[in-house]
Amino acid sequence: MPDKDAGTPRVFLVRHGETEWTISGRYTGRSDIPLTPNGELQISSSARKVVGAGKIIDPSRVARVFISPRTRARRTYELLFDNASKEILEGKSEITEDIREWEYGAYEGLLTAQIRAGRKERGLDTDRPWNIWTDGCEDGESAKEVSSRLDQIIAKIREIQGPYMHGEKGVDVVLIAHGHILRAFAKRWIGFELGMRLPMMLEPGAVGVLSYEHHRIDEPAILLGVNLGESESGSKE
């Protein structure tokens, strides 16, 4: 059976590799924590499997790469693409604050249990436990503020991909960022408010995929599964 959505542009969500704070579960926003050796290995392993000519992330089909300014994300970019790929992507990569991690404010470096305990001591959350998706962060960002900056980059991506919904040109996009912001991005991609329940997981070094249904720019979708085998490369430009 033919794939009715073949050639539809994709958006790849790449979470940076492991850091010491991802191991402990501490909220890591502006803190510039480097990758652990294992975190670097995670990215290198993912790169071997999914990046390259004819693979899921084919640099010749990538129109833009958006990278969080944090060291852990920039290092992930360096490991994800080899020198040949970087040559292909020259002029297409952009470091942007739009996909920096959620600004955790007073919660930076804390664990969820610590945040909830502290809020309870201050008389907050009497009806239910703290939830970042609805409550945001004290001295940090609200869900509305996060949505606003993500919507800006989503609009930019759809402007890039809209004219080429049938694969006429390689316009895939790669985002290299962080656990919370990439899950928030996925929600906004399909039009969900951040407070709407949509449990998602994205491991360090993992790659998520978004796309569209029926080759339509107004039907964004979460791509639940991709074929991991290689295919014939080459664009229809």
3-state SS assignment for residue 64: strand
Q: Is 103 annotated in some ligand binding site?
A: yes
Q: How far apart are CA 237 and CA 69, in angstroms?
A: 32
Residue 213 in tokens: 């249904």
3-state SS assignment for residue 142: coil
Q: Is 29 annotated in some ligand binding site?
A: yes
Q: Is 193 annotated in some ligand binding site?
A: no
Q: How far apart are CA 70 and CA 34, in angstroms?
A: 9
Active-site position among 18, 101, 108, 141: 101
Q: Is 76 annotated in some ligand binding site?
A: no
Taking each helix axis as running N to C, give the angle between helix 71-80 and helix 37-50, from 0 to 180 degrees, rounded to the nearest 10.
40
Asked about 101 being catalytic, the answer comes back as: yes
Q: How far apart are CA 66 and CA 89, in angstroms?
A: 11
Q: Is 36 annotated in some ligand binding site?
A: no
Pairing of strands 172-177, 220-222: unpaired
Active-site position among 16, 108, 141, 178: 16
State which amino acid sits at residue 36.
Answer: T
Binding site listing: 28-29, 72, 101-104
Binding site listing for substrate: 28-29, 72, 101-104
Where in the sequence numbering do the catalytic residues fall?
16, 101
